[in-house]
Amino acid sequence: MNTIESNLLVGNDQFAIIVSRFNDLVTRRLLDGALDTFRRHGAKEEQLTVIWAPGSFELPQLAQQLATSKKYAAIVALGAVIQGETTHHDYINHQVAAGLMRTAQETGVPVMFGVLTCENLDQALNRAGGKAGNKGTEAALAAIEMVNTLKLLKSPGV
Ligand code: INI
């Protein structure tokens, strides 16, 4: 049996973090979690680029431009979509998830879905460094793992 499993060490790669300004009480905490994780796994400041978006709906377009630039080994998209009185959030959630996945598949650059989709602010804060972890941390770890796993898959003999 062959098992391919990467480590979680950041090499010399560049990482882009795109983060929504909408609900920034939450998204700043996601960003802190992601940055802390990249740093603790070996990233230097010059390997990290943060780009702010107006809202989560705009994340896919930024992801696409960053991915096609080929400057970044992976992109982490951070946002917080919180249900309101209408179904607005539904339209955003589905489009954002599909748009980010499309960019990853079309470009081969991993794009992480670090967008919270919650019923209320409490749920979101719990997942942004509260008692249910930090989605930004999770997304940064996933980015490191995807970059390293894709490298392993491209290495000779695999
Ligand atoms: N953007 C979010 O990131 N989260 C939300 O909860 C949200 N809601 O509920 O409206 C939201 N809306 C803004 C949207 O992402 C766009 O920025 C806006 O529609 C302009 O295109």
88 included as an active-site residue: yes
Indicate whether 10 belongs to any domain.
no
Give the chain's domain count: 1
82 Cβ inside 6 Å of ligand 1:
yes
Q: Are 6 and 39 in contact (CB under 8 A)?
A: no
Domain extent at residue 34: 15-38+56-119+126-143
Indicate whether 139 belongs to any domain.
yes
* pLDDT tens, N- to C-terminus, the chain (158 residues): 999 999 999 999 999 999 999 999 999 999 999 999 999 999 999 999 999 999 999 999 999 999 999 999 999 999 999 998 888 888 999 999 999 999 999 999 999 999 999 999 999 999 999 999 999 999 999 999 999 999 999 988 78
130 Cβ inside 6 Å of ligand 1:
no
The counts of H helices and E strands in the chain are 5, 6
Indicate whether 74 belongs to any domain.
yes
Indicate whether 75 belongs to any domain.
yes
Indicate whether 157 belongs to any domain.
no
For residue 117, the cross-strand partners are 81
The best mutation among 22, 89, 116 to test binding of ligand 1, ranked by most ligand atoms within 8 Å of the C-beta, falls on 22
